[in-house]
């Protein structure tokens, strides 16, 4: 390399020009000419690597999001664009403000730390991201003056809170075994997923804090390329422990942490869509599109209403058109559900507040509203993969009903809406249960004998019991 440069003054000038533009390292004034060149090249390589990595991770993420959007839109159409004012209010209160989380204060506060940490530390990720692209270090430091150290100090406090909260969450899941976090539907992958998320967050926060500690130690040594800032609130206490290390070791630590941290962030970004953790994004649209009608109201089936009208008053019924496709009554598979049900499924973070409140589950029945949501998502992902492989959905002989959710689970529901009420991100498991029940009864004629008797009584005696309609007002005279 040395030889080449000496022989080729054009190339030398070119590299100098690039290095001059892209780095803060001014090696013209340096006697260490070659060291400068190597450092400049290292910076260039780092920048290129960073940009490639950033673009790749954003591309893969965007592709997966597109796929998820396509999957959600496999659901039936449902117009949820009314009352935007109320919907924005719901989104701000429930998603941003986490209103429903505070029914249970301990996890709510810990969750708030992690959430606030996630949102606010992202401002720091922005700086790291820009540093990575343009090859600067602590780009915002000179712009912000003394405020910068306070800002980073604030991020560090949040990072420490995130770290502590995640450790407590790990304990709650794996040691004290909070009931709703240790149910059988979580065995296997869902459990691992939860632990991977928590451990990743702990690692990311640790890397961030170690990086800042090394940085402060480097600043104290007056290392080049590390702009001096005031001390940071948390890592200021640890920088002393790093001061015994040599400058090159510290640079290595700082760089490795910087890289691992940002690689971790890119990894996490692409892990999200495969994980229950995707709720951090979908909580917002899910709260926006949540049900505005009273919780007790069951969605009307216009197609059945028209059937009845056609029977009773044919002149009033809307004429059936030949191009009307026959829609299955109720839902057998995910594609029969509404797109909002599918958005619900992707928004579920498997916290189990619904299941913990479910009277059927509390009394040992198989029904778990959380499992209804997990099954819906699993089946939807399966359908999505099927479409990826075959260009369009190829019948796989499976369906959400029976293959994922059993009749016994559906039969246990009391429609009490405790699950709907409990969900912090406004997921409605009851809506899915109702649609599957409709399919069972109206498409499969699958109902327990006692229900068939009840149906018969209502039809013939106008009451769910076998009493004569003539006796309906008999109580008046007794």
Partner 1 sequence: MPIKSIAEYAANGESPEILFWVGCAGSFDQRAQKITRAFTQILDKVGIKFAILGKEEMCNGDPARRAGNEFLFQMMAYNNIAILNNYNIKKVVTICPHCFNIFRNEYPKLGGNYEVVHHTTFLQQLINEGKIKLKDGGAFKGKRITYHDSCYLGRGNNIYEAPRAVLEAFDNELIEMKRCRTNGLCCGAGGAQMFKEEEPGTTRVNFERAEEALETGATIIASNCPFCMTMLTDGIKNKEKEESVKVLDIAEMVAMSLE
Binding-site member from 82, 297, 315, 325 for partner 1 (CB under 8 A): 297
Q: Is residue 341 near partner 1 by the rule CB under 8 A?
A: no
CB of 321 or CB of 363, closer to partner 1: 363
Q: Is residue 318 near partner 1 by the rule CB under 8 A?
A: no
Q: Is residue 378 near partner 1 by the rule CB under 8 A?
A: no
Size of the site for partner 1 (CB under 8 A): 67
Stretch that binds partner 1, among 116-124, 131-139, 237-245, 414-422 (CB under 8 A): 414-422
Q: Is residue 249 near partner 1 by the rule CB under 8 A?
A: no
Stretch that binds partner 1, among 86-94, 117-125, 203-211, 299-307 (CB under 8 A): 299-307
Q: Is residue 308 near partner 1 by the rule CB under 8 A?
A: yes
Stretch that binds partner 1, among 138-146, 159-167, 198-206, 438-446 (CB under 8 A): 438-446
Binding-site member from 11, 33, 298, 393 for partner 1 (CB under 8 A): 298
The least distance separating partner 1 from the CB of residue 293, rounded to whole angstroms, comes to 7
Q: Is residue 432 near partner 1 by the rule CB under 8 A?
A: no
Report yes or no: 379 and 336 within 8 Å, Cβ to Cβ: no
Stretch that binds partner 1, among 84-92, 111-119, 341-349, 353-361 (CB under 8 A): 353-361
Report yes or no: 197 and 275 within 8 Å, Cβ to Cβ: yes
Contact string 319-338 vs partner 1 (x = CB under 8 A)? ----------xx--------
The least distance separating partner 1 from the CB of residue 358, rounded to whole angstroms, comes to 9
CB of 204 or CB of 367, closer to partner 1: 367
Beta bridge partners of 338: 76
Of 168-227, binders to partner 1 (CB under 8 A) are none
| Phi, psi for 372 (deg, rounded to 5) | -55, -45
Report yes or no: 36 and 30 within 8 Å, Cβ to Cβ: yes
CB of 281 or CB of 442, closer to partner 1: 442
CB of 46 or CB of 457, closer to partner 1: 457
CB of 120 or CB of 301, closer to partner 1: 301
Stretch that binds partner 1, among 3-11, 165-173, 307-315, 338-346 (CB under 8 A): 307-315
Stretch that binds partner 1, among 57-65, 154-162, 305-313, 333-341 (CB under 8 A): 305-313
Q: Is residue 108 near partner 1 by the rule CB under 8 A?
A: no
Q: Is residue 412 near partner 1 by the rule CB under 8 A?
A: yes
Stretch that binds partner 1, among 1-9, 220-228, 258-266, 445-453 (CB under 8 A): 445-453
Residues that bind partner 1 (CB under 8 A): 103, 293-298, 300-301, 304-305, 307-309, 312, 329-330, 357, 359-360, 362-367, 408, 411-418, 420-421, 434, 437-442, 447-448, 450-451, 453-455, 458-459, 462-465, 467, 469-476, 478
């Amino acid at each position: 390399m040395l030889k080449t440069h000496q022989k080729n003054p054009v190339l030398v000038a070119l590299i100098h020009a690039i290095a001059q533009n892209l780095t803060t390292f001014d090696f013209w004034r340096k006697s260490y000419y070659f060291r400068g060149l190597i450092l400049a090249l290292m910076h260039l390589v780092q920048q290129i690597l960073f940009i490639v990595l950033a673009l790749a991770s954003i591309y893969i993420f965007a592709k997966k999001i597109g796929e998820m959007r396509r999957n959600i839109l496999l659901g039936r159409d449902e117009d949820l664009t009314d009352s935007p004012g109320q919907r924005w209010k719901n989104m701000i209160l429930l998603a941003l403000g986490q209103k429903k989380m505070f029914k249970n204060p301990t996890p709510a506060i810990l969750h708030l730390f992690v959430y606030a940490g996630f949102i606010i530390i992202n401002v720091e990720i922005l700086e790291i991201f820009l540093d990575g692209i343009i090859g600067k270090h602590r780009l915002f430091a000179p712009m912000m003056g003394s405020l910068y150290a306070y800002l980073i100090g604030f991020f560090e406090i949040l990072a420490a809170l995130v770290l502590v909260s995640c450790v407590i969450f790990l304990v709650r899941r794996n040691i004290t075994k909070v009931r709703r976090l240790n149910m059988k539907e979580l065995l296997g992958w869902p459990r691992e997923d939860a632990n991977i998320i928590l451990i990743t967050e702990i690692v990311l926060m640790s890397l961030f804090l170690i990086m800042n500690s090394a940085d402060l130690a480097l600043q104290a040594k007056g290392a080049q390329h590390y702009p001096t800032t005031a001390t940071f609130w948390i890592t200021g206490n640890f920088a002393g422990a790093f001061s015994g290390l040599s400058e090159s070791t510290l640079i290595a630590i700082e760089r490795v942490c910087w890289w691992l941290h940002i690689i971790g962030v890119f990894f996490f970004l692409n892990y999200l869509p495969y994980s229950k953790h995707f709720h951090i994004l979908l909580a917002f649209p899910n709260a926006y599109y949540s049900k505005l009608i009273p919780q007790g109201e069951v969605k009307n089936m216009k197609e059945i209403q028209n059937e009845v009208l056609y029977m009773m008053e044919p002149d009033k019924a809307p004429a059936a058109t030949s191009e009307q496709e026959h829609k299955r009554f109720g839902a057998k598979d995910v594609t029969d559900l509404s797109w909002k049900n599918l958005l619900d499924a992707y928004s579920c973070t498997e916290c189990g507040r619904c299941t913990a409140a479910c009277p059927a589950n509390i009394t040992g029945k198989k029904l778990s509203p959380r499992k209804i949501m997990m099954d819906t998502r699993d089946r939807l992902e399966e359908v999505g993969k099927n479409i990826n492989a075959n260009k369009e959905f190829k019948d796989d002989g499976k369906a959400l009903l029976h293959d994922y959710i059993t009749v016994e689970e559906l039969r246990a529901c009391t429609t009490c809406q405790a699950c709907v009420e409990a969900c912090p991100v406004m997921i409605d498991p009851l809506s899915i249960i109702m649609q599957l029940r409709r399919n069972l009864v109206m498409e499969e004629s699958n109902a327990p004998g006692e229900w068939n008797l009840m149906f018969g009584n209502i039809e013939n005696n106008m009451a769910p019991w076998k009493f004569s309609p003539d006796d309906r007002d008999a109580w008046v005279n007794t």
